[in-house]
Amino acid sequence: MIEIKPNIYFVGVKNPEMRIFDVFFKTERGTTYNSYLIVGKEKVALIDTVKEPFKDEFIKNIEEIIPLEKINYIITLHHEPDHSGALKYILEKSNAKVVISKNAGLFLKQILHKDVNPMLVGDNDKINLGDLTIEFIQAPFLHWPDTMFAYVPERNILFTCDFLGAHFSDNSIYNDESIDFSYAFEHYYKIIMRPFKDYVLQAIKKIENKKIDMIAPSHGMILRKDPWKYVELYKTWSTPKPREFKRALIFYASPYGGTGRLANSIATGLVESGVHVELFDLAGTVIDDSLLDLIENSDALIVGSATLNGDAIKPVWDLLSSLTTINLRNKIGFAFGTFAWSGEAPKLIENRLKDLKLKVPETFIRAGIIPTEDDLRIAKEAGKKLAQYIIGSSSSAQA
Ligand code: FEO
C-alpha cells in the first residue's frame, strides 16, 4: 500500500516473474496489476481490481487502509480479466456499487455470471465522494470497446486503464524512481494500442485541456514526472505522416526459386507503374516490430508461397499470424504461388488476406514449379493491374 496522492492509494500487485502475458506478449520484467483506492470524506471508491490469482495479496493491501465493506464503489475501467478477476471476491465482502461504462454491461455479466445492477457512466458523469470527485471520460477501444478513464480534479490525477501502461515491474511504482522502461512502454503501445491510433488521438483530445500532474495506468509505472511527455509519445506514434509515394511489400516462400521469380515479375510490373516495392524472401526474414512498422506503413501486402503438402509453407503462416496488432483495412492484398500438383497455397493466402480485412481486388495467380516465360509475363501484368488499385487506394500511408 502506497499513498500516491492525499487519500489516494496504490493497492495493486506486482508480478515481476511473469515472462509471457496473455500467451503471446513477452515481458522481460514482468508486469504489475495496478489498482487504486480513493478514500473520500464520505465515500470510498476502488479503481479496478487485479488478476484472480493475486486476490489475497490485493485484499490484504486494501485492508491495510480500510475494511472491504467500507468500499462504496468499484470502478472497472474495462473488463479484461487481469483487472476484473478479483472483482467477485471484493463483492462477496462489500455492498459496493459496480461502476462501468455504458457499453460494458455484457462484459460485466460475462465476468460475474450474474447481473449486479451496475451504475452506467459516460462522458462527464461524476461520482461525489465528499471532498473528492471522480469524473469519467469514455476512451473506447483503448483497447477494449468499454474502456474509460477516471479523473479526480481535486488531485490532478488521471486513471487511464491500459492506456499509457507498460508490462514492466520495478522496485518503485513511479517512473522517476524506476530504471529505464522506455522499451517496455513503446512495445506495449505497439502490441496493445497500435491498431487503434484514431481512438488514441480522440482520447488525447478529451484530456489535453485537463490539469493533470499524475497519470496512473493499470500496468507498469505511475507517471509522476513529466506525465505529458508520455501522452506526447502516444500522439506522435499515432499521428499519420503522409508520404509522397505508394509502397508495396512482397513476401515469398520459394524453396525451388520459382515463387521468387514470380515475385520479381510482380515487382517489375509494380515498379514500372510507379509503385515503390520492397521484396522479402521469408527464408531470411525476421518478423519483428520494425517489420510490422513497415507493413503498417505500406499500401499493399503481396504474399506468395509454393504449395507443400496442400498448404502454404510455415514462414508464410508465421507472417500472416503476426499481423493482428496492425490496422490493415484499406491496404491492397494479393496472393500468388507455384505448385507441382495440387496448388492450394495461393488460395489459402488469399482467404487469409481477406479475413484480415485487406482489399483483394484481383484473384490469385499460380504457376508450375518452374514458371514459364508466359507465367512471368502474367505475373508482371498482375503487378501492373495491382499498381492501379494501389495508386488509387486511400490506405493511411505514413512515412
Ligand atoms: Fe491490462 Fe486490457 O488489460
pLDDT at 240: 87
State residue 68 phi and psi, 5-degree precision.
-55, -35
Residue 27 counted as domain residue: yes
**Cα–Cα dist 55/73, whole Å:** 18
The answer to whether residues 312 and 219 belong to one domain is no
* 398 pLDDT higher than 70: no
Q: Is 157 in the same domain as 302?
A: no
Beta strands, E only, 229-308: 247-253, 276-281, 300-306
- Whose CA is closest to atom 2 on ligand 1? 80
Identify which of 51, 76, 190 has the alpha carbon closest to the alpha carbon of residue 144: 76
CB atoms within 10 A of CB 56: 11
Bridge partner list, 367: 338
In which band, very low, low, confident or very high, does the pLDDT at 158 lie, cut at 50, 70 and 90? very high
Compute the distance from residue 165 Cα to the ligand 1 centre, in Å: 9
Confidence check: pLDDT of 23 > 70: no
Lowest mean pLDDT among 15-19, 156-160, 171-175, 265-269: 15-19
Return the residue matching grid coordinates 488469399. 350
Residue 396: band (very low, low, confident or very high) from pLDDT cuts 50, 70, 90: very low
- The answer to whether residues 37 and 44 touch, using CB atoms and an 8 Å cutoff, is yes
Verify that 166 and 216 share a domain, yes or no: yes
Residue 192 CA: nearest ligand 1 atom is 2
pLDDT score, position 289: 87
Q: Are residues 10 and 82 in the same domain?
A: yes
Query: CA 244 to CA 239: how far, in whole Å?
Result: 16
Q: Is the pLDDT of residue 298 over 80?
A: yes
- Give the Cα separation of 268 and 204 in Å (integer): 43
pLDDT for position 374: 98
Closest-lying ligand 1 atom to the alpha carbon of residue 143: 2
* Together in a domain, 253 and 154: no
- Give a yes or no: residue 288 inside a domain: yes
Q: Has residue 397 been placed in a domain?
A: no
Q: How many domains does the chain have?
A: 2
Residue closest by Cα to atom 3 of ligand 1: 80
Distance CA 186, CA 95 (A): 39
User: What atom of ligand 1 comes closest to residue 144's alpha carbon?
Assistant: 2
CA distance 18 to 28: 8
pLDDT, tens digit, for every residue of 66-121? Answer: 999 999 999 999 999 999 999 999 999 999 999 999 999 999 999 999 999 999 99
Centre of ligand 1 from the C-alpha of residue 371, in Å = 49
Residues within 6 Å of ligand 1 by CB = 78, 80, 82-83, 143, 162, 218-219
- Residue 242's pLDDT is 85
Evaluate whether 399 touches 243 at the Cβ level (below 8 Å): yes
Q: Averaged over 214-241, what is the pLDDT?
A: 96
Whether pLDDT at 241 is above 90 = no
Residue 123 maps to a domain: yes
Model confidence over 315-374: pLDDT tens digits?
Answer: 999 999 999 889 898 999 999 999 999 999 999 999 999 999 999 999 999 999 999 999
Question: Residue 245 Cα, ligand 1 centroid: separation in angstroms?
Answer: 37
Query: Are 102 and 202 in the same domain?
Result: yes
C-alpha 247 – ligand 1 centre gap (Å): 34
Q: Which domain holds residue 71?
A: 2-238
Give the angle 69-73-78 at the CA atoms, nearest 5°: 125
Determine contact, residues 397/239, Cβ cutoff 8 Å: no
pLDDT of residue 331: 96
Whether residues 225 and 253 fall in one domain: no
Query: For residue 120, is it within any domain?
Result: yes
pTM of the entire structure? Answer: 0.89
Atom of ligand 1 minimally distant from the CA of 219 = 1
Domain endpoint, select from 238, 265, 295: 238
Indicate which atom in ligand 1 lies nearest the CA of residue 81.
Answer: 3
Q: Does 28 score more than 90 pLDDT?
A: no
**Whether pLDDT at 378 is above 50:** yes
Burial of 309 (0-12, 13-18, 19+ CB in 10 A): exposed
Q: Residues of the chain with pLDDT > 90: what percent?
A: 90
| 122 Cα to the center of ligand 1, angstroms | 20
Cα angle, residue 288 at apex, residues 282 and 294 outer, rounded to 5°: 80
Q: Examine the domain organization and report whether 233 and 251 are in the same domain.
A: no
Cβ–Cβ under 8 Å, residues 368 and 302? no
CA of 151 to the centre of ligand 1 (A): 19
How much is the pLDDT for 291? 95
Q: What is the CATH number of the domain that holds 207?
A: 3.60.15.10
Ligand 1 centroid to 187 CA: how many Å? 14
Predicted pLDDT of residue 25: 77
Q: How far is it, in rounded angstroms, from Cα 264 to Cα 298?
A: 18
Residue 153: is it exposed, middle or buried by C-beta count within 10 angstroms (0-12/13-18/19+)? middle
Residues 189 and 220 in one domain: yes
Distance 83 CA to ligand 1 centre (A): 7
In sequence order, the β-bridge partners of residue 38 are 8, 45
Which of 16-25, 129-138, 170-179, 186-195 has the least mean pLDDT?
A: 16-25
Residue 385 CA, ligand 1 centroid: distance in Å: 43
- What per-residue confidence (pLDDT) applies to 17? 85
CA of 162 to the centre of ligand 1 (A): 5
**311, 280: one domain:** yes
Q: Is residue 51 part of a domain?
A: yes
CA–centroid distance, residue 301 to ligand 1 (Å):
30
Model confidence pLDDT, tens digit, residues 30-68: 999 999 999 999 999 999 999 999 999 999 999 999 999
CB 84 within 8 Å of CB 70 = no
**Are 269 and 383 contained in the same domain?**
yes
Mean pLDDT of the chain: 95
More confident call, 393 vs 291? 291
Residue 24 pLDDT class (50, 70, 90 cuts) = confident
Ligand 1 closest atom vs CA 147: 2
Task: Take residue 114 and report the three cell numbers written for it.
Answer: 450474474
When pLDDT is averaged across residues 224-252 and rounded to a whole number, the result is: 95
Atom of ligand 1 nearest to the CA of 165: 1
Within this chain, do residues 266 and 308 fall inside the same structural domain, yes or no?
Answer: yes
